[in-house]
Structure formats: structure tokens, C-alpha cells
Amino acid sequence: MGFLTPLIFWLPFLLLPLLLLFKRKNQVKKELKRLPPSPPKLPILGNLHQLGALPHSSLCQLSRKYGPVLLLQFGRIPVVIVSSAEAAREVLKVNDLACCSRPPMAGAGKLSYNYLDVAFSPYGEYWREIRKICVLEIFSVKRVKSFRFVREEEVASLMNSVSQSSSSAAPVNVTEKIFSLTGSIIFRTAFGKSFQGSEFNRAKFYELVHDAATVAGRFSADEYFPGVGWILDRINGHKQRVERVFHELDTLFQEVIDDHLKPGRTKVQEDIVDVMLGIEKEQIEDGHAWLTKNHIKAVLLNMFLGGVDTSALTVNWAMAELSRKPRLMKKAQNEVRSIAGKKGRVTETDLDQLRYLKMVVKETLRLHPPGPLLIARETMSHFKINGYNIYPKTLIQINAWAIGRNPKYWENPEEFFPERFIDSTVDFKGQHFEFLPFGAGRRGCPGLYMGTVTSEILLANLLYCFDWKLPDGMKEADINMEESAGHCLTLSKKTPLLLVPKQYFHDQASE
């Protein structure tokens, strides 16, 4: 028995390292399991049933209950919802490289010729190349300025059309007019010609762009529920719809490209198709060609999806907000009218001086960001937000809408109050994470300048040329400000805005 005494004495010393090792392993295991909080989920569906008709709003409610970093399950897809400026900074700045890819989505993949575009393409060498070309050749300030005449001509034509309606004192569908204008501007900028003279009429074009946004912006049932979802896709016609939209867009793009390649074509001004065909030609001459017609078509798709709705929604919401607050509308009109004087139109050279108008646009983008959840990202490697583990292949959605309405960053956040920006340095260029209408980081919107200049010139002219009244019997409070998440990626006003225009400039000139 004597030999046991030293063993009993030494045993704790022998076991201690083992115990410590075991404890450490458990800690690491626990640490790795530290996931963001999740609301209870249903089998198979996960949290899909909690999304509702306005996902940004339902997700905002959930984040109020569970916190600003939330883990949900959409079918088989893990999704992290980010609803605070601090957490958005962690994603879009600190860990931007880990989460700047996009998830594969069958609809977007088909419409973008297997991810040859910028917006839906996964992060990698190809995306860097195509984004670089687009930033330098399509979205640069110089290129956007070269299309100033398109914007000004189209705005002038819209003002004439509103002016004709104004003689009857009947309400005008402002929403329709605004969408028609941004559509015409993007169509002419990309293709060098307007709807007039093309077999594409406006209505057909919008339908196509909206159908494209709907199929590109959402997962198919098969992606949520692999193996069985395809049955749902069959029943709801998703696959056929993707094929139809692809075919219609491809036919349009091919016709325009063929037209541009016709020998002896007279070119008044380079449009985006000319620019892209020029790059293709240069590459062939330099002997390192990789850009094909499909690449060009994929980029055109991004222009239509990114450029038509976003600026139109901004101006539509701005007009709706200003119509609810006639005092602010008057203030914006006084500014525009004092700067543009009796010229008859606001031109882009006036825009820099329109300080209040720019605040109106900012305030509109805070309350009504056209992409309330930005565009979904997919993580590529493991990282942490607020101490929570985020694993690769997780979807990240930043709720810019919720952040823009959070009282932690904004006083009286639900109030439309452009003056809040007077002495503020906060802007939307991606450095202020409480205000993210254009996103931020590597995937931030490259069309920011094009989008803002289009919104500003249109809004400025609507305010300059007309006084706007509500239809008979309607009060400011009756304006319906309900939202509709119709096209998946963007957030519209549920009902069109109807206003009665009274021509201002004409009246002033005759005074």
C-alpha cells in the first residue's frame, strides 16, 4: 500500500493538465457555437414565414426584439440580418473582404449570362475586372456628364407633357411620368436612341425591366428547398418566367448591338453600347480579347435594373413627402426658382447651388432607400460581428431602411425633415454607416453619381416649372405613404402619386 501514497499525492498534478485541456476544448467549442440570436423557426421553412409582405419592416421588428445582429434560416439558407450602424460597419468596412461576394441565384444567373455582369457576379478576379471597366468607362463623372444633353432633353420633353396636362387642371399621374422619364434616360444613354422610332414602347419596356428585377432579385423555391422546391417552381411558373424574360431581353440587346455594328452607321454621340463595343475591339487589336457580346449584354442588364427604378423611386417619394408638407415644398421651390431665374429650365450647372434640394434628396433616401436591404451578400470566410461567429456561405442582408429610421442615430426619425442635414457632415458615400442608401465598401453602388444627378435634375425641374396642388377634396394627410416591395430589390410607393400641376414659369413670365 505504501506505493499508493506518492501516487495519490501526484495524481492531481497529473490530472490537472488534462482537465485544463478538456476545459479549453469545451470553451473553444462553446466559442465557435456563439451564433447571433435567432427567433424560433419552423421545420423546413425556417423563418421564411416571418418575412411578410414588407420584409425590411418585419426584419426591423424582429431586430428590435432580438438585437441588431440576427441569424435566420430561409429554407436551407442561413441569413444574417444587420440592423445597426455599428454592425454594418463591421460588415461593410472591417470585414468587407470576407463578405463581398453575392449568393448564386438561378434567375440572376440566367439573366446575366452566367454572372458576366457586375451586380450578381461572385467576388473574384472576373468581378474586379468587369467592375473596373464599368467604373472607368460607364459610371465615371466624365462619362455621366457626357450624357447631360440626354437628361436635359428628356426632362424638357417631360415638362412639356406635364404642361399640356396642366391646362386641363386635371390630376396627373406623377409616378407614371417620373418612371417614364428615368426609363427614357437610361434607354437613350445605353442605346443612343429613344423609345420613339423603336418597336419598344414605354409600357412594354417597364414591364420587361420590372419582370427582370423580380426574377433576378429572388431565390427560386429550389434554392430554398433543394430536391423538392423545383415542384413549386414548376407550379408557380418561375422557370418559364425566367426563360421568357431572358429571351425578351436578349432579343432587345442583340437587335441594338446589331444595329450598332451596321456599316456606315452615323453616330452623333457615343452611347454605352458604342463604349463597350469599342473596348471589345481594342482587346481584339491588342490580342488579349475576353469581352464578348454576352458580357456587354450583362452590363446593359445592370444598367436597366440599377438605373431605372432607383432614381424614379427617389423622386416619387420626394414629391410625395413634399406634397405632405407644403411649407417645405415652397422652400425648395423658392431656392430652385431663385437660382434658375427666368431661364425656363433648371440645368445641371445649377445643381451645385441647390443646397436645400440636395438635402431633400438626402432626407428622401434616408426614409425611403430604394434598396431597403441593399443587395444580398454572401460570406466567403469566417469572421465575427459583435462577438458572434459568422461562417462562410452565409447570406448577409443589411437593413438600410431600419438603420435610417433608428432613433439612436436620428432625432425624430420618422419625420421628413431635410434641415437635419444643414450642419451635418453625414453623406451617402459609404463612410457613414447610419446612412447607407448606396451601400458601402467594395460592392457599394458604382452608379451613385448617375443616380443622384438624374434624381436632382428631375426633381429640380418638377419644382421649378410647376406649383403642385392636391386633387379636389384631398388633404395632405390623405396622401397614401404605404410601401410596396413589388420588385423584390426595390421599395415602391403602394399607390401612384396624383397631383394637379399649375404651370409656374409661364405665369411668372406673363406677370
Q: Please, which residue, 130 or 245, has the CB nearer to ligand HEM?
A: 130
Total residues contacting ligand HEM by CB under 6 A comes to 26
Here the cell at position 232 is 413549386
Pair 383, 95: CB distance under 8 Å: yes
Q: What angle do CA 458, 333, 404 make, to 5 degrees?
A: 65
* Binding to ligand HEM in span 304-343, by CB under 6 A: 306-307, 310-311, 314
Which residue lies nearer to ligand HEM by CB, 143 or 420?
A: 143
Cell numbers for 69, please give them. 445582429
Q: For the chain, give me the number of helices (H) and strands (E)?
A: 19, 11
- Strand-by-strand arrangement of the 498-503 sheet: 172-173, 498-503, 466-469
Residue 75 is a binding residue for ligand HEM (CB under 6 A): no
Residue 16 CB, nearest approach to ligand HEM (Å): 51
DSSP state of 310: H
Q: Is residue 443 a contact residue for ligand HEM (CB under 6 A)?
A: yes
Our finding on whether 375 is near ligand HEM (CB under 6 A) is yes
Q: Determine if residue 99 is labeled as part of a ligand binding site.
A: no
Given candidates 60, 77, 79, 118, which one binds ligand HEM under the rule CB under 6 A?
A: 118
Nearest distance from C-beta of residue 204 to ligand HEM, angstroms: 20
CA 409 to chain CA centroid, nearest Å: 22
Residue 303 sits in the site that holds ligand HEM (CB under 6 A) = yes
* H or E stretch covering 328: helix 326-340
Least separation in angstroms between residue 23's CB and ligand HEM is: 42
Q: How far, in Å, CA of 287 to CA of 282, rounded?
A: 9
**Please, which residue, 47 or 310, has the CB nearer to ligand HEM?**
310
Q: Does 438 bind ligand HEM (CB under 6 A)?
A: yes
In this chain, which stretch among 223-231, 441-449, 475-483, 499-507 interacts with ligand HEM, using CB under 6 A?
Answer: 441-449
Beta 483-484 vs 388-390: how paired, if at all? unpaired
List the one residue from 63, 455, 461, 492 that touches ligand HEM (CB under 6 A).
455
Q: Provide CB contacts within 8 A for 58, sequence distance 6+.
A: 50, 51, 52
What is the C-alpha separation between 266 and 51, in angstroms, rounded? 52
CB of 424 to ligand HEM, least distance (A): 19
CA distance 292 to 279: 10
Question: Which residues are part of a known binding site for heme?
Answer: 445
Question: Which residues are part of a known binding site?
Answer: 445
What residue ranges bind ligand HEM (CB under 6 A)?
118-119, 131, 302-303, 306-307, 310-311, 314, 370-371, 374-375, 437-440, 443-447, 450-451, 455
